[in-house]
Amino acid sequence: MIKRSPFEYHYQFQFLNGQIKDYHITLDPDTLSMVPIASATGKTTEWVRLHFKQCRHCPLQDEGHANCPIAVNLMELVEAFKDLFSYHDCMVVCHTAERTYSKQTSIMEGLSAIFGIIMATSDCPVMEFLKPMARFHLPFATIEETTVRTASMYLLAQYFKSRNQSEMRCDFKALEEHYSRVQVVNEGLLERIHGVTREDADINAIVTLHSLSQFLSMEIDYSLSGLAYIFAGRYMD
């Protein structure tokens, strides 16, 4: 069996006043789950409790789940940015083992990138299907890039499933249902942190992700027609 190293992402926010905020994310190479942050272990902030404004239709029950797994992993980040406005500019740098990404952008866009990977890898059953995308995390992705990655990952997953299920039909109905549930999680998280933050950086980062999930649901519903131009006359036999 191949021994894989953990997947690591180091985000750094560089502000105009010289202030720097660092945030490290580590994924278990086998489960693709986020490795808990040591500084968050043992904390019992009220808004991370499972039953604090719990998402509609949350599949988690009391047994072994005192806290919302996403909220626990977001806790440190929400606290660090709760006093910042989403529209403020900064340089956001993301270091991975393979390459470094950087962009002069708003705090909101930088936070959306981090929130996306944390939400996908925090062992929330609703978000579990997004772990393969988190493994190939692309910071600052455009809507079109995200649509291509989402559809491609989904179809690749269907391919692996179909190898053992010869009668399996491949369509996007299940993916559309997944994103409908993701929108419920986004709404639940917004309810959780609304009273925690004093400014809007954290909230608008999740609003951005929520808008993206709504767009993806709409695009899937229209059979990905927005991507058809890429393949016009270029289909591979």
Distance CA 110, CA 89 (A): 10
Inter-residue contact 31 to 161 (CB < 8 Å): no
Which region holds residue 69: left if phi is over 0, alpha if psi is between -120 and 50, else beta?
alpha
Residue whose pair of structure tokens reads 């985000």 in the numeric block: 11
What length is written for the chain?
Answer: 237
Residues 33, 4: contact at Cβ < 8 Å?
no
The H or E element spanning position 4 is: none
pLDDT tens, residue order, the chain (237 aa): 567 899 999 999 999 999 999 999 999 998 999 998 765 556 668 999 999 999 988 999 766 788 999 999 999 999 999 888 888 999 999 999 999 999 999 999 999 999 999 999 999 999 999 999 999 999 999 999 999 999 888 887 887 777 667 666 667 788 888 989 999 999 999 999 887 887 788 888 998 888 888 888 887 776 677 777 666 655 544
Taking the CA atoms of 208, 193, 107 and 29 in sequence, report the sign of the dihedral they define. Answer: negative
Structure tokens at 148: 């291509």
Annotate 8-51 with three-state secondary structure: EEEEEEEECCCCEEEEEEEECCCCCCECCCHHHCCCCCHHHECC
